Amino acid sequence: MTDFLRDLNDVQRSAVTATEGPVMVLAGAGSGKTRVITYRIAHLIRNNGVTPYNILALTFTNKAAGEMRHRIDKLLQSGSASGLWIGTFHSVFARLLRSYIHLIGYDRNFSIFDSDDSKSLIRQSMNELGITNDSLPVNAVQSIISKAKNSFILPSEFQSRPGDYNQQKAAKVYELYTRKLRENNALDFDDLLIKPLELFRAHEAVLGELQETFRYILIDEYQDTNRAQYLAAKMLGAKHRNIFVVGDDAQSIYSWRGADISNILNFQDDYQDSLTFKLVENYRSTGTILQAANSVIRNNHRQIKKELISNRSAGEPVTLIEAYNERQEGEKVAEHIRSMRQKDGHDYSGFAVFYRTNAQSRVLEDVMRQNRIPYRIFGSVSFYKRKEIKDAVAYLRFIVNERDNESLLRIINFPPRKIGDVSIAKLKEYAVLQDSSLYDAIRNAAEGGFQQRLVNALESFSSVIEKLKELSEYGSVYDVLSELYSLTAIPAQLQAENTAESLARYDNLQELLSMARDFSDHNPDSSSLGDFLENISLASDYDETRESDNYVSLMTVHASKGLEFPVVFITGMEERLFPLNTYEQDELEEERRLFYVAMTRAQEKIFLSWARSRYQYGQPQQCLRSMFVTEIDASIVRTESGELISGRSSSERASSSGTATSRGFQSKAPSPQSGIQTPRQESKSASKGFRAGAMVHHALFGPGMILEVHGSGSGQKVKIRFRTAGDKTLMVQYANLRIVS
């Protein structure tokens, strides 16, 4: 045995040395996943004499591929791994296609279109089909096509599938767009996964040649593979069957971009003679953190069971922070950071603050600035620097100061009004000739001899501005911003796109609206539009990164995957926020996996925080504590005062969670198989089943969550927030509600 294998624990070493046949390694968080892959490659080359050229290692990021190569070179001594195929799925498949794509009708010098190139070609296809961006946003079409390709659904199959209006229109665009890509001898990013499959199916000899080359296949983060990646790996490994996958089903959190958890869950069905190794010894987190994570994730049904164990001490309990609103929540987070720095000497870099949605960063950023705590946003940009926020604020600036040409030029074509650069240049010339401001030139464009189409567009724009200026004279900041959203329909357009990016931008605009309402409510004597803009200017001018590397990290939970920090704050632990607006079982389980990922980023300490009230869509909303907090083993959760929550009475726990009846840590949800109850059954079980926080289903309104319970027996009423129908108050006796959790 080569000495370097002694660095591994027993399970790691067994997985590394099981070189023949299919192998799955379930690598729990912090259990040494990358080490197993790199040591296995080094073992194959040094101890088994495998030629590097016969090894294919697939990852999901260039950074991960580079780190693996560096570690392998270090184990083997630089140069020993020359010829090794290691890279992302996309980069490796692009390399293969350069050699073989001529066999399926493309030239080897094909172009790879980036997202903008792809969007431009999709827009051309839509124009030719007479589909306007207003009826179906191009971003939505691009997203639909991308999801189809990642699922290996080709245009002909996609057209034959039933779907709503958007999908039917997108199917036509997909077919034309595919033809145009071929005419351009181009592939988009998703084609780098699709075209190899087409090649393998059309040319078995090529597939056989590649199967002989890639005798050993290793795949990192297997839980994140989509349908196309799964099929490609299965086809390439079919001959020698030395396929080695490493992943963790409990960390599958990317279904929204095509990842299919079934790939890892069904690996043992695909390869019934496979060996499975579970890496459960965690080198990152304390025993308490892992106990919390284990107690939550075991509530998922679709999983391969495993329990992480720590090689460290038990450590500190989880601390639950309760606040009356999101502002106090942020202030309490800042207070704990200051306290731990003074008490334990932590650097700022030892703290991370996670949130479920990007929009939540706004309040946290404001609090960090006010407390002079250096911070940095990861995976996104600072709230006030996000494009949609800068666009909306530019409208507000221009309403206050119509000579602000910088803001004017930013908003004149947002949303699109078909006012091009040539027209703007002519308007500037006209303003100079008239010795007027650019906005005056716009208002007087009808007298300047411009084309009627441009005049109409400019009149539409100036009409919006004038209405907002008039409203700003007597209305609040909230009123002005609400009217801006209504007149321009910007939020509605983002909703219509229905992509992950557009919905995040929509949430950010709603957070700005909430900020406006909060500002108006708490600054009655200085709540003018000018005061509001001054407040934003001071906030956005803050240098968040400073020159030091010593800062608190702020990020979404998705952005935290793969990272670790001594102290982690997970904020917004409320129903409809984390878990996020979901009542479907598969979606809820992914939200739970996301929470599991958040907890397992922590090395020493976890804080969970929630607010009884939070501004949503410009209005304060009462909140319920997240069901995920309830799922944590109560014996390891304490309040800020240090009180063990399991030692409190059920009534105290109910009060703390904001529920009408106990939804404490030890209560159990009713069985999902409880079915539709008769009024008599409902009356008997109301105290158990119909409680604030319970998930129910109504035959007409669909899934929803109970907010309030009033009365008992035949007169009992429940207020329910339905996913699509909003808030409804129903008589339990006649509602025929089915309890789902």
CATH number of the domain bearing residue 12: 3.40.50.300
Residues 266, 400, single domain; the answer is no
Residues 724, 601, single domain; the answer is no
Tokens 């300047």 found at: 448
Exposure string over 345-378, b if 16+ CB within 10 A, otherwise e: ebebbbbbbbbbbbbbbbbbbbbbbeeebbbbbe
Classify residue 40 by its DSSP letter.
H
Question: Would you say 693 is a known binding-site residue?
Answer: no
pLDDT at 660: 32
Rounded to a whole number, what is the distance in angstroms from the first to the last CA of the chain?
53
Is pLDDT of 150 > 60?
yes
- Tally of structural domains, the chain: 5
Interval 374-410: pLDDT, tens: 999 988 788 888 899 999 999 998 998 888 888 888 9
Tokens 């290692």 found at: 57
Question: Would you say 475 is a known binding-site residue?
Answer: no
Is residue 220 part of the annotated active site? The answer reads yes
Identify the active-site residue in 397, 601, 605, 625: 601
Question: Would you say 448 is a known binding-site residue?
Answer: no
Is residue 251 part of the annotated active site? The answer reads yes
Question: Would you say 34 is a known binding-site residue?
Answer: yes
Residues 528, 400, single domain; the answer is yes
pLDDT band at 436 (very low <50, low <70, confident <90, very high): confident
pLDDT at 705: 82
* Residue at a domain's end among 539, 567, 582: 539
pLDDT band at 663 (very low <50, low <70, confident <90, very high): very low
Q: Which domain holds residue 509?
A: 385-539
Tokens of 407: 């803001």
**Rg of the Cα trace of the chain?**
29
Identify the active-site residue in 221, 518, 575, 604: 221
Tokens 């705590």 found at: 373
Exposure string over 470-507, b if 16+ CB within 10 A, otherwise e: ebbeebbbbbbbbbbbebbebbebbebbebeebebbbb
The mean pLDDT value for 161-176 works out to 85
**Beta strand 309-310 pairing with 281-282:** parallel
Residues 59, 148, single domain; the answer is no
Is pLDDT of 449 > 50?
yes
Residues 507, 485, single domain; the answer is yes
Q: At what angle do helices 477-488 and 529-540 cross, to 10 degrees?
A: 80
Q: Does some domain include residue 49?
A: yes
Q: Does some domain include residue 294?
A: no
Question: Would you say 711 is a known binding-site residue?
Answer: no
pLDDT at 317: 95
Identify the active-site residue in 17, 34, 621, 733: 34
pLDDT at 249: 95
pLDDT at 689: 65
Q: Does some domain include residue 286?
A: no
Average pLDDT, the chain: 86
Instruction: Report residue 429 CA to chain centroid gap.
Output: 46
Helix/strand/coil for 24: strand
Residue 282's alpha-carbon distances to 23, 25, 27, 164, 275, in angstroms, are 21, 14, 9, 46, 21
pLDDT band at 647 (very low <50, low <70, confident <90, very high): very low
Is residue 479 part of the annotated active site? The answer reads no
Of 633, 640, 635, the closest CA to residue 607 belongs to 640
Question: Would you say 29 is a known binding-site residue?
Answer: yes
Identify the active-site residue in 13, 33, 362, 576: 33
Spatial contact of 277 and 15, defined as CB atoms under 8 Å apart: yes
Backbone angles phi, psi at 388, to 5 degrees: -65, -35
Residues 552, 589, single domain; the answer is yes
pLDDT band at 526 (very low <50, low <70, confident <90, very high): low
pLDDT band at 51 (very low <50, low <70, confident <90, very high): very high
Residues 523, 434, single domain; the answer is yes
Question: Would you say 32 is a known binding-site residue?
Answer: yes
Whole-number Å distance between alpha carbons of 452 and 285: 67
Dihedral angle sign, alpha carbons of residues 617, 623, 624, 629: positive
Is residue 114 part of the annotated active site? The answer reads no
Element containing residue 277 per DSSP (H, E): strand 275-279
The mean pLDDT value for 247-267 works out to 93
Identify the active-site residue in 12, 223, 225, 251: 251
* CATH code where residue 495 lies: 1.10.486.10
The structure's pTM equals 0.80
pLDDT at 669: 33
Q: Does some domain include residue 717?
A: yes
Is residue 34 part of the annotated active site? The answer reads yes
Interval 187-246: pLDDT, tens: 999 999 999 999 999 999 999 999 999 999 999 999 999 999 999 999 999 999 999 999
Tokens of 495: 């909703």
Is residue 221 part of the annotated active site? The answer reads yes
